[in-house]
Amino acid sequence: MDDKDAFHIVLVEPEIPPNTGSIARLCGATNTVLHLVHPLGFSTDDKYLKRAGLDYWKFIDIRHWDSLDSFLKAQEEKRLFFLTTKTSRSYTNAAFRIGDYLVFGKETKGLPEAMLTLYADRCFTLPMANPNIRSLNLAMTAGIVLYEALRQNEKIGSQ
């Protein structure tokens, strides 16, 4: 798959195997490329990771990166969108284009503060109606944002 013909989900140092497995399945279903930035908080042989992805692994384009720096150096800055709880700008205000990268941080800490500062104009969040809830599950968040990007680009039809 050509990188310019697909959306990309980037998981920076993911920690919870079922989240990564569910996101991998989401990527397979939407022809989205999955990027895993190491170190991972689990082995790719993890039974929970494999179970969440079911038997779809052969249909998923997964790319591994040794570090966040190596990933960032290989990308066009303007194609990166960072998802974080540390901004008030809603993901619905982003103008996504096919070929963009949706970057998510690790479940417990999110993305590094220095990155959020550097790319403040490219940071977006999922607003919460209840101020007592900080965020949704990583896999759910990735699905919501990806489907908004697909909707904006007419890559999904209405039923």
Would you say how long the chain is, in residues? Answer: 159
Q: Which structural domain range is residue 33 located in?
A: 3-152
Task: Give me the pLDDT at residue 154, please.
Answer: 87
Query: Could you tell me if residue 158 is inside a domain?
Result: no
82's enclosing H/E stretch is strand 80-83
Across-strand partners of 37? 12, 65
Query: Could you tell me if residue 52 is inside a domain?
Result: yes
Whether 7 and 100 have beta carbons less than 8 Å apart is answered as yes
- CATH code where residue 136 lies: 3.40.1280.10
Distance (Å, rounded) from C-alpha 42 to C-alpha 20?
Answer: 10
Whether 71 and 104 have beta carbons less than 8 Å apart is answered as no
pLDDT tens, per residue, the chain with 159 residues: 667 789 999 999 999 888 998 999 899 999 999 999 999 887 777 565 566 555 677 788 999 999 999 999 999 999 999 999 999 999 999 999 999 999 999 999 999 999 999 999 999 999 999 999 989 999 999 999 999 999 999 877 543
Domain count, the chain: 1
Query: Could you tell me if residue 107 is inside a domain?
Result: yes
Q: Of the candidates 58, 53, 33, 31, which has an alpha carbon nearest to the alpha carbon of residue 42?
A: 53
